[in-house]
Structures are given as C-alpha cells and as structure tokens.
Amino acid sequence: MDVTAIISVAFLGSLGHCIGMCGGFVMAYSSAKIDSSSSSAHQFLSHVIYNIGRISAYVLLGTLFGALGLLFTFSAQISGYFYFVAGIIMVLMGLSMMGKIKFLTSLESNIAFHPQIKKIFSHLIHTKTLTSFYGLGLLNGFLPCGLVYFFLATAATSGSIVQGAMTMALFGLATMPAMLGLGYVVGFLKGNGFRELMIKLASLIIIAYGIYMSYIGFAAVVQ
C-alpha cells in the first residue's frame, strides 16, 4: 500500500473534486444545523463528527472491497485481469474529473438526487443532535463519487480486508482538512483557478497510476 500516493491524491482531490461534489452538502448542513451563536468548540465538534461519519462509511466500503479483492488472488492471471480493468477505470475517472469525458457523472447525480436519499437527508438536516451530524457524514460517504471509486478500486486490488479498510481510512483522513476548512475559506477553495489546478493535478496522478496498474495487469496476463 503506497501511503504517500494515497494521501497525495486524496488531499489534492479534496481541494478540487470534493469541494465541488460535497461543498453544497457541507454548506447546507452548516447553515441549517449549526447556530452562529454556538461556541467555536461546539461548531468544530459538529464538523468533526460529520467527518467521522464520512470516514466510517469509507472504511466499511474499503473492508468490503478489500474482501472482494480476495476473490481475484487465486491466480496471477485472474489478478492481472483485475488490475488491468481497474487501471482502465482509473484512467477514465481521471479524464472524467478533467472534464474530457462524461464517465460516472450521470451516475453520481442520479443517485445523489434519488427521492429516498433526499428524504433521509431532509430528516437529518432538520435534526440538530450531534448524532445527526454523524448520520449526515455516513450518508455523504455512501453517495457515489468518482474519487471514492478510484480508492475503492485501489482497496480491491490490495486483496486484503485490513489494507482495504486502511486505504479508505487514509483517504478519508486526507480529505478532512479541506472539508473542515470549507466553512472558513470557502471563497478561496471554490475559486475557479485554484480548484481547476487541483483537479488537474489529482486527475493526472490518477491517470498515471491507472496506466501503471494496467501495465502490471497486462504483464501478469501475458506471462
């Protein structure tokens, strides 16, 4: 597991893709659930609990995909096919993040705005308990996201439940700074020039890593 690559891509992606995808989500609950008169400590705790919920969802997904990855470790050839396909998917995700193609974009939007999802969101957004912040984070974590798919593919290729969970935990932790700071520096993070630069950097890293994984898979298959 390449910890440096995971943290780098996740952090850069959080300043680009995550701000765009989850920014409205964070600003909605911040406006509806957090009173400006409440203490700074309470506001900070609310955001932290929300992010813990989000990371919890990622860890659960990472555990599941790590377990699924075990199914592809029975032979080098099957594992090679899986690496090759996962690498191609990562390249498509990177191109999609750059706006070159529309890969998974419609899926993200359709599921995120599903009536049942909106019903759950409406219930949680109108509840001001600390546990409701955890629920919102959990909901956000399970919503479709191209960047999350990339890391889930990485978790699956690890072929390990533990490494799958750790991959997604690191991803969640690396995206926390941007998500926690969104309410304070939203103007800077959503600036077109800065956001586009971060998206391009994260996209290029994802594409390069996808090509590398496809190469590993191809080499394993032709051996």
pLDDT-derived band at 186, boundaries 50, 70, 90 = very low
Which residues 6+ apart lie within 8 Å of 118 measured at CB?
A: none
pLDDT-derived band at 84, boundaries 50, 70, 90 = confident
Q: Which of 70, 66, 48, 18 is nearest to 166 (CA)?
A: 66
Q: What is the mean pLDDT of residues 67-78?
A: 72
Each residue's pLDDT tens digit, 56-70 = 999 999 999 999 887
Number of neighbouring beta carbons within 10 Å of residue 216: 17
Q: Which of 141, 147, 140, 144 is nearest to 199 (CA)?
A: 147
Tell me the whole-structure pTM to 2 decimals. Answer: 0.75
Q: How far apart are CA 193 and CA 27, in angstroms?
A: 21
Average pLDDT, the chain: 78
What angle do helix axes 146-158 and 192-222 make, rounded to 10 degrees? 30
Q: What is the mean pLDDT of residues 86-104?
A: 74
